Amino acid sequence: MFRIVEKKQLADNIYKLRVEAPRVAHSALPGQFVIVCTDEYGERVPLTIADYDTSDGTVTIVIQAIGMSTRKMCALGEGDALADLAGPLGNPSEFVNIPLDELRRRRYLFVAGGVGTAPVYPQVKWLCEHGVAADVIIGAKTASMLIYTDEMRRVADNLYIATDDGSEGFKGMVTGKVRDLIENEGRHYDECVAIGPMIMMKFVALTTREYGLPTTVSLNALMVDGTGMCGACRVSVGGQTLFTCVDGPEFDGHKVDFDEAMRRQAMYRVQEGEANEKHKCECYGK
């Protein structure tokens, strides 16, 4: 069992859980994920590692409650335990394997959308700890949906906020802010990393392609085992079929077939809706 030592609500339906998982904390690297089961009958839910602390053996996950399993998980409190937390899974971000002198000559731009802001944090933190410059754009529909802004401000060179309704920072989509930085503020970047909803990553990749800016995306394909056995998480990248769990989750954003990935992600919408309704009825006795 994996005890929850801290729970915090970050925004509407978004919760942070800090969980005792010493073995995962000791081997985790930025970009990796875990698969979590709330109870012994629970679904396997893939979640990116949002932080890890080797001193107290904890791993932080940030969950958006959107369906039955994530709602169940977010209903747990401090002192409760998760039945399973397997990981770290997937490959670490590519930059952890690049020699530091080469990395320090690069300038990174991170584009984070919604709950995807949490997975960006350990990457920017790692780069900051290793003396590599990184700017970050965090996008959300409205100011109350922004998460991780204080944490990110501590590790990013420059932090830019973009909200669709203009309630904080730049008014508009993150792609508008990318254009603004490159065209109006004369910024130069060597690498872009985009993490957020699939549709956001698709449009960030289309935008950066115009500027010839190499772009990495972290895909959140449907997963079952997370170890390359079931094929549920397959995606097409540059015409090749790859498995998100063992070949990713990070891929070249200019090569991903996003339209196919989005179709596959929506494959079980009907069953997910039914499970969600059933769960609500069980909880509220309707």
- Region from 25-33, 49-57, 223-231, 259-267 binding ligand FES, contact rule CB under 6 A: 223-231
Q: How far apart are CA 5 and CA 2, in angstroms?
A: 9
Considering only residues 99 through 128, tell me which ones interact with ligand FES, judged by CB under 6 A.
none
Per residue, what are the HEC states of 129-144? Answer: HCCCEEEEEEEECCHH
Q: Tell me which of ligand FAD, ligand FES, none is bound by residue 76, counting a contact when its beta carbon lies within the kind-specific cut-off of 5 to 8 angstroms.
A: none
Smaller CB separation from ligand FAD, 114 or 182: 114
One-letter amino acid identity for 8? K
B/e letters for 242-251, b = 16+ CB within 10 Å, e = fewer, are bbbbbbbbbb
58-64 vs 133-140, strand pairing mode = unpaired
- Region from 24-32, 73-81, 126-134, 220-228 binding ligand FES, contact rule CB under 6 A: 220-228
Q: Tell me which of ligand FAD, ligand FES, none is bound by residue 64, counting a contact when its beta carbon lies within the kind-specific cut-off of 5 to 8 angstroms.
A: ligand FAD
Q: How far is the CB of 113 from ligand FES (least distance, A)?
A: 23
Q: Tell me which of ligand FES, ligand FAD, none is bound by residue 48, counting a contact when its beta carbon lies within the kind-specific cut-off of 5 to 8 angstroms.
A: ligand FAD
Smaller CB separation from ligand FAD, 93 or 220: 220
Considering only residues 153 through 172, tell me which ones interact with ligand FES, judged by CB under 6 A.
none
- For residue 91, the 8-state DSSP code is P
Angle, alpha carbons 79-115-30 (nearest 5°): 80
In three-state secondary structure terms, 145 is helix
User: Using the rule CB under 6 A, is 241 a contact of ligand FES?
Assistant: no
Annotate each residue in 181-210 with x if it binds ligand FES (CB under 6 A) or - if it does not, as one string.
Answer: ------------------------------
Closest CA to 34 of 24, 42, 23: 24
Whether 178 and 204 have beta carbons less than 8 Å apart is answered as yes
For the chain, give the longest Cα–Cα distance. 61
Residues in the chain: 286
Closest CA to 140 of 166, 106, 122, 109: 166
Q: How far is the CB of 243 from ligand FES (least distance, A)?
A: 5
Q: Tell me which of ligand FES, ligand FAD, none is bound by residue 47, counting a contact when its beta carbon lies within the kind-specific cut-off of 5 to 8 angstroms.
A: ligand FAD
Which parts of this chain interact with ligand FAD (CB under 6 A)?
Answer: 33, 43, 45-48, 62-64, 66-70, 115, 118-119, 220-223, 249, 265-266, 269, 272, 276
Whether 207 and 173 have beta carbons less than 8 Å apart is answered as no
Which residue among 153, 154, 171, 231 contacts ligand FES (CB under 6 A)?
231
Smaller CB separation from ligand FAD, 45 or 86: 45
Structure tokens at 207: 């935008």
Instruction: Catalog residues that contact ligand FES under the rule CB under 6 A.
Output: 223-226, 228-233, 243-245
